Amino acid sequence: MKITTRPRRVRVALAALAVPGAAFWLASGATAAEPPPAVTGPEVVMPPQEPLPVRNLRISKTAEIHYTRENHWSVDKSVSSKAGYDAKNNSVAANYTVAVTKDWTAKDVIVRGTITIKNPNPFTVPAIVTDVLPGGDCRILDDDNDPRVARMAGPPPVEDLTLPELKEYLQGLPDGAIVIKGELAPGEEATGRYVCELDYTPKKGVENTASIIWPKFVRDVEPNPEIVQEFDTENTEIADNAPETLRRHRALFRMRSASAYAKMGEASYDETDPYVKVTDTMQYGWTRVLHPKLGTSKTFTYTRYLDAYIGKCRVWDNQARVWGMPEVPDLEVAQLVQLPDNGYVEEGPRAQLLAKDEASIRICPPPPPTKGEPAQPPVVTVENGGKTEPADVTPSKNPKGPIITPKEDPVGSITVHKRVVGRRAVDNGMIVKWKIIVRNTGKSDLSRVRVVDLLPKQLGVVTNEKTRRANKVLLWSGDLGVGQRKVFTLYTRALGRPTMDRRARALVKRMTAKQRRREIARIRRGGICNQVLALAENARPDRGQACIRVMKPRPEEPQNGDTVTEASPGNAST
């Protein structure tokens, strides 16, 4: 009995349409000229089989917009042209308004989502998926390292195309297009995440369309090679508005598209400076925190009672400030390799000044009194935004709050503390960790603050596992608001024990007897003190100090086999 067996294959019947080089085997290991294997024996006639069912490939997609909302904060400070005067305590009531406005612009706009394709057929189908978004640079996020899914930058190489007839069409796609090429196995469903970076900000939304293209015909190779089947025609014909390079192959391919519309009003976003701190500083007076954490636009109104000095004119400047509130970074300070080149790590938040505005009021002595008439109130003028106008001063009962009087001394207060983290007794060459805390403990903002660490010569700054000598290290400079603090971590290396050198002897000579004995004892013990200095323009400086002790080198232990000979009175020379 002769039996002939042939493997079942499915073939794209582009060759039947007389298109040169357009035949594709969908099962590996077969060519058009390859004869089927045969064996000798009795011949058996196989019954005819029904052709394979052919269904269109499926595609769907989702899309959403995500962007960064860059907030812009502005402040408008003004003083009212109507003031009150109380002759009993000689004070002027000034009414202030601080309007804080929040606005935003969108940047770094992206469209992201998923593309899902499916082959419902019981045979493999080659396909190409494209996604082109005008004004967008798109890519597939290949989280699973799928080699079949790839981003093709620019035109794809000719020899790497799965469907050569589409070479010209694919080469005409923009550089930012997504091209997914490959074969879909029987029943396979694949989902890929994509992201498109836009070079513009859409007003209402963005519509993104993805398409899948596959051969139009399949041939039932075994056992009925004469049967040629066509994919369903429903919604798969290449449209008339498709590119000409694609329409010319309308007789060869099917195409299905899926669109998703992403609305700008439903977009997700991240924010920069979502909350701010609003402060108000009066010259000669204290700083008030109008709002510790403001997230929306708001207007503040309040009254200040100013001392109306009779002797001369005085200008009272008032400034409102809006500060950013960044999150406190979580720093890993245990690893020296993460240190910057300046040798310190700042752990506290950096309050950034986002906006400020000023308003001033000028109070001058009243004109000379006229006989028989009541005394006149002081002459008051206000300045808002560079525009000066006289104020209408009316009698009032002041004050309903404290009267602010001029002060010549600094009104701010700054404190600094320093301590050693870990052991205070160290060996020569060991690394010492210092913690420095600077606080604004006054009731006024501090401007031009500088934090300087004063290093003795026995300590060197450690930067990226390197040690360098430095007499002074500038840790930070800037402004410090009321109640704010900054924390620093400084790493140094012990370079040796202190000695009674020329500088130490000169310093000891200027001390009292008690201080001299204490300093000499510290040097003999190996004590090293490290000072930090905090300076501000409107506050008295403050110092912080912490000390360590560098131990003497330990004597080496005798090695095995070594002998130690001690001197005896009989061997000593006289």
Q: Which residues lie across from 198 on neighbouring strands?
A: 136
Structurally, how many domains does the chain consist of?
A: 3
Burial of 287 (0-12, 13-18, 19+ CB in 10 A): buried
CB 209 within 8 A of CB 131: yes
Burial of 398 (0-12, 13-18, 19+ CB in 10 A): buried
pLDDT at 147: 39
Q: Are 399 and 514 within one domain?
A: no
Q: Are 240 and 360 within one domain?
A: no
Q: Are 231 and 149 within one domain?
A: yes
CA distance 68 to 104: 10
In a domain, 19, yes or no: no
pLDDT at 554: 64
Q: Are 131 and 249 within one domain?
A: yes
CA distance 74 to 86: 34
- Per-residue model confidence as pLDDT tens digits over 467-520: 566 678 888 888 887 788 888 888 888 888 887 777 777 777 777 887 778 778
- Whole-model pTM: value is 0.58
In a domain, 344, yes or no: yes
- Per-residue model confidence as pLDDT tens digits over 269-288: 998 889 998 988 887 767 78
* Residue 54 confidence class, pLDDT cut points 50, 70, 90: confident
Q: Are 434 and 535 within one domain?
A: yes
Continuous H helices in 147-223: 167-171
Q: Are 98 and 125 within one domain?
A: no
DSSP secondary structure string for all residues of 104-160: EEEEEEEEEEEEEEE--SSS-EEEEEEE--TTEEEEEE-TT--TT-----SSPPGGG
Identify which of 255, 257, 218, 214 has the alpha carbon closest to the alpha carbon of residue 236: 255
In a domain, 276, yes or no: yes
* Residue 99 confidence class, pLDDT cut points 50, 70, 90: very high
Identify which of 412, 283, 447, 279 has the alpha carbon closest to the alpha carbon of residue 360: 283
Tokens of 371: 């006989």
Q: Are 363 and 434 within one domain?
A: no
Exposure string of 428-462, with b = 16+ CB inside 10 Å and e = fewer, is eeeebbbbbbbbbebebbbeebbbbbebeebbbbb
In a domain, 233, yes or no: yes
In a domain, 161, yes or no: yes
pLDDT at 329 over 80: no
Choose the final residue of a domain: 235, 266, 297.
Answer: 266
Q: Are 429 and 281 within one domain?
A: no
pLDDT at 542: 93
pLDDT at 411: 65
In a domain, 213, yes or no: yes
CATH code, 162: 2.60.40.10
Length of the chain: 574
Choose the final residue of a domain: 360, 386, 404.
Answer: 404
CA distance 74 to 298: 11
Mean pLDDT calculated for residue range 244-266: 88
In a domain, 50, yes or no: no
Q: Are 261 and 275 within one domain?
A: no
pLDDT at 156: 42
In a domain, 247, yes or no: yes
Look over the chain and give the mean of its residue pLDDT values, rounded to a whole number: 76
Enclosing domain of residue 118? 58-65+107-266
pLDDT at 393 over 80: yes
CA distance 487 to 284: 29
Neighbours of 109 (CB within 10 A): 22
Q: Are 332 and 431 within one domain?
A: no
CA distance 537 to 546: 25
- Per-residue model confidence as pLDDT tens digits over 345-357: 444 455 688 999 9
Mean pLDDT calculated for residue range 67-73: 93
Identify which of 541, 69, 71, 97 has the alpha carbon closest to the alpha carbon of residue 352: 71
Choose the final residue of a domain: 266, 287, 318.
Answer: 266
CB 391 within 8 A of CB 361: yes
Q: Are 252 and 116 within one domain?
A: yes
Strands 466-468 and 446-454, how do they pair? Answer: unpaired
* Residue 143 confidence class, pLDDT cut points 50, 70, 90: low
Lowest mean pLDDT among 133-142, 157-166, 305-314, 475-484: 157-166
Q: Are 385 and 472 within one domain?
A: no
